[in-house]
Amino acid sequence: MSLPFPLSPEPDAAPREAGRMLFAAGAEFLKGVVAMDGLPPADRIEVCFAGRSNVGKSSLINALTGRKALARASNTPGRTQEINFFTLGDTRYLVDLPGYGFAEAPLKVVEKWQQLLRAYLAGRPNLRRAFVLIDTRHGIKAVDEEILTLLDRAAVTFQVVLTKADKVKAADRERILSQVRATLGKHPAAFPELILTSSEKGDGIETLRAVIAGLE
């Protein structure tokens, strides 16, 4: 039997070039959204980056776009507090979501973000794929599973992107990959390939660009 949820293969020359071209078209910040009625028109293919607070969503957007500070990244969990929209060329939106599972912020504030996050994930018609970021050191936690279940119910295809691969030794990585694969087997909306990334070192970035370019 072949391994379920293999790592995405390195892209061939043509999709790699398509990914390079797409991201060379330039990314710009469009707006930060705090309520569903503030969303831009659903007139482009959209992908979003969801994940626990501090997992590396903003850093990944910066690595993909080759812009050091397009999306705000920081050591302070909970930094991204709005749904941030970026235009990519004139065909895509990239969406940086507020992190979940962050316990330090005031409860009222957290509840407001979480409500918005859930409404967005379940109700955006042009959302072609949700990239759910999982820290390669930690694997899938209970808070992640809540989001995966929400995506199953909303029938939004999600793809797991493992982050901070540079921080993990090979043996630990294999153990976490097994945990991730076993968990994803229970989620019908899971896309059947994983992407292992490091925003720091650049691993997986070309692959992810090619995947985004390939969405229609």
Ligand X SMILES: Nc1nc2c(ncn2[C@@H]2O[C@H](COP(=O)(O)OP(=O)(O)OP(=O)(O)O)[C@@H](O)[C@H]2O)c(=O)[nH]1
Among 11, 19, 56, 139, binds ligand X (CB under 6 A): 56
Which span sits near ligand X by CB under 6 A: 72-80, 114-122, 152-160, 204-212? Answer: 72-80
Site for ligand X in 171-210 (CB under 6 A): 198-200
Long-range contacts of 143-146, Cβ-Cβ distance < 8 Å, separation of 24 or more: 143/52, 143/100, 143/101, 144/51, 144/52, 144/101, 145/183, 146/100
Q: How far is the CB of 65 from ligand X (least distance, A)?
A: 13
Q: How far is the CB of 19 from ligand X (least distance, A)?
A: 18
Exposure on the CB side of residue 213, measured as CA atoms within 13 A: 23
Q: How far is the CB of 49 from Mg ion (least distance, A)?
A: 8
167 binds, among ligand X, Mg ion, none (CB under 5 to 8 A by kind): ligand X
Among 67, 79, 112, 187, binds ligand X (CB under 6 A): 79
Q: What are phi and psi of 177, to 5 degrees?
A: -60, -40
Helices (H) and strands (E) in the chain, counts: 6, 7
* Strand, coil or helix: 52: strand
Nearer to Mg ion, 11 or 101 (CB): 101
Structural tokens at position 17: 């070039």
- Closest chain position to ligand X (CB): 99
Question: Other CB atoms closer than 10 Å to residue 124's CB: what's the count?
Answer: 20
Binding site for ligand X (CB under 6 A): 51, 53-59, 73-75, 77-80, 99, 163-164, 166-167, 198-200
